[in-house]
A and B are shown apart, each in its own frame.
Chain A
């Protein structure tokens, strides 16, 4: 096992972990947003989905949650370690700084990542642990937890909606670099496929994030009640 320890410590090993966990987390985001889009199908669809999710066989939900947690922690841990190492690699900065082609998104990954992390903590506190900014959970007419109303109610507040819209857009921005860069990290760079790697991947990221952003906006503008 020592080789795994060595691998994760190495600069390239760190890249692989960032790329792979990043890809995993993006898949989760797709799943999560896809589920949430059920808001457009109304209270019954949404709440039924929540129940089914909880009743997945073989404790699949917990396995998924465990995997997710590991990926999140690894992604965060390596990201901060990389950031500190990278700062240390240039102890003295240039007096005159300029950039030739590095994108704004790539240069701000530690910041956008941190904002996304803070947002996730808020999001969990709000909708998962019901600690802040949410009314006690009610039951729907079928006796299920009324996830639908909880979310819709929360999004009716312009402040919370704004937090969600801005945060998910920042996530999109974070993904715009992450999704194009992860291929390179694991060694996939080929003239024939770089269009897919570098342009279509981030585009997919934006589509997913815009779909997510549409929910609070839809509530705010009364499309979902």
Chain B
């Protein structure tokens, strides 16, 4: 596998401009000759499809939801970073770049991250022009708040629904292009495989989820914007439909999968309530602006929170990380909460929870101010738990939230398969081993609005494309494989439901490849996953037929991929013998903090598929740091 990151030479701040100038262009009149397939309609997909449509390319956009507006970007709550320095608190592109590199525990590419930080400013401008109603100050200018891992206020927000508003902005731009006939939208259509002809990605095989028809769509380039794989864990803050299928099947067709073990556990989620729970709900990181995290100092303290006096409370984040306090990055805050609970100090049922307390903020600012800032989040908490967070503290616990790993891409966002581009959470490129809050929205939109539309034209301009259509032998072959898979799933007719197997997989992954990983736990997982896979392929029950809306069949296909992907994650976690960001190996720590091994692991691990149940090959892309000094990440 050839891994050339194609990072332009030259000073960091000039790389992108220089690259743009050196890129080839497609003239406006020729653009309609190129067709682009965009899979996924979240922030990355919608913004890419809309922008490509505006430029004049022929675009087909696919999503499994009933409308592009329902992609899970919509659930992002807290905000989006933009290095505008509107607050005059010392922010700059360079600082956002540095915070992001450091936040990612020095496991991301300098050039990509710098470009991201630079584009962050244009994103805010673009969104405001689209009518995104960001929060304002009384003077009419944009308001900002702080997020974890930063000491400046650079996060733009729209109440607790920033992701929704940004997605609806991108969605409205997309709908405009659909209305103009530049983009053809295919909702309720799921990508099941990738068609590669003569080494180039030329199409995708999809299943119409209503009729069950399997068809192939051809294009000159394929863009995957299909999000992350957090649902490997069954319980996560991802939507129920989020899946790894598109990226996993691209991986099986030869695309390298980078850093699959990097998963982010978000510290502030509502704790699990019972065995039938289907998903976890996030409480925005922004709550940590005013909420204080604590546990009782004494083990087994069963008093209600208001009965525990100040001196018997351990505000453990403030104690351990005085300079960042409650706004420590997510991986660090999550681990600290886990440690407290492991030490028997946890609160609530099962002792799996810590307090997030607004008592002091309410006393200081008044309930109205807090309501204004977080009202909808407080309501959501109350709706789910039936407890009033204005009266007593919230109970929170970490949960799987985001996956930094993804398909490997070069500086142009192209995978190692020519013509296969990957944007947003689906690629691996910008967040290293840990993503900072309010950066996912930024990356999805930077990729979709500004990066991909430029790099894709370079690809078109530099390549010749043979005329191929769906009668091509390769298309028939891939279609057949997809149909065979469906038939196989429907014919097993075992005794276990898809969900029960998914739950089993999720629990195994959470216990063995979650917040803390060890050689033993990972080895055990790698032993047990094949058993689960076997259980799935011999004993799962998929009801109904393939020629109709069949939600069980959809789930079964996704879980089959999750099982294979879980194995890849454990393998990657096992071979990365260091702790970094969200990847915490208990063997590698120093005073409880993650201990990196820059000598041996300052690289991207890229996995190449070698065949069913065969061990994939591990390749490396060495990370070069010319502009930042590798240092121990400290938030103390």
Q: A–B direct touch, CB within 8 Å, in complex?
A: no
